[in-house]
Amino acid sequence: MNSMKRMILGYILGGFVVLIALPYLVYTISKLADRLYRIEIVSDVTTKWILIVVLFVFGICFGIWSIVIQNVKGEGGPLEGFGIEISPKTKHLIVSGPYRYTRNPMLLGTFSMYLALSVMINSINSLIIVMAFMIFMLVVVVRNEEKRLAKDFGNEYEEYKKRVSMLIPWFHKKE
């Protein structure tokens, strides 16, 4: 399969998982858990919708920005997991755009969108599920990605890793 077809397939598959399958899973599991107990996250409707809009818009914009930069500057895509390359890997280490704030801007964007979903569902159970998912992503997926990046980009990646926070932008490391 040629590079462009793999890239398109990767984005279709990734988009389906991130934007449809996982949110559906969070919604379904939290609704089942809500039968046992339910605690709301936000009681004020105005505050709730402001949070939803801010978190979702930030998440989608940050995610799209990181994908565009990754394709333009990195000349590759984000989809590789557990040693399976769905879309072509990036050819260049990206340290600009959203990558100057966090080493995992797509994950930050996804996390922000899922927090918006939790606020929309308005259940502490959905928040617990989202937090568990993020912990899994940080421990398993990011760790594997970082091994690959260290192997592919060596000292350049190690220096970048020393300067830029893994996830949360305002926890930048000192230069």
Least confident residue range of 36-50, 76-90, 103-117, 134-148: 76-90
The residues near 106 (Cβ < 8 Å, ≥ 6 apart) are 63, 66, 67, 70, 78
Backbone angles phi, psi at 173, to 5 degrees: -85, 155
The residues near 52 (Cβ < 8 Å, ≥ 6 apart) are 116, 119, 120
What's the pLDDT at 171? 66
What's the pLDDT at 81? 52
Buried b (16+ CB within 10 A) or exposed e, 35-61: eeeeeebbeeeeebeebbeebbebbbe
The residues near 135 (Cβ < 8 Å, ≥ 6 apart) are none
CATH number of 3-171: 1.20.120.1630
Instruction: Domain ranges for the chain, please list them.
Output: 3-171
What's the pLDDT at 91? 84
Share of the chain above pLDDT 70, in %: 89
How far, in Å, are 10, 65, 155 from residue 89 at the CA level? Answer: 11, 18, 18
Q: Would you state the structure tokens that stand for residue 13, as one six-digit string?
A: 């598959």
Least confident residue range of 56-70, 73-87, 116-130, 138-152: 73-87
Residue 174 has pLDDT above 60, yes or no: no
Residue 175 has pLDDT above 60, yes or no: no
Alpha carbons 157 and 85: distance in angstroms, whole number? 20
**pLDDT tens by residue, 86-112:** 666 778 899 999 999 999 999 999 999
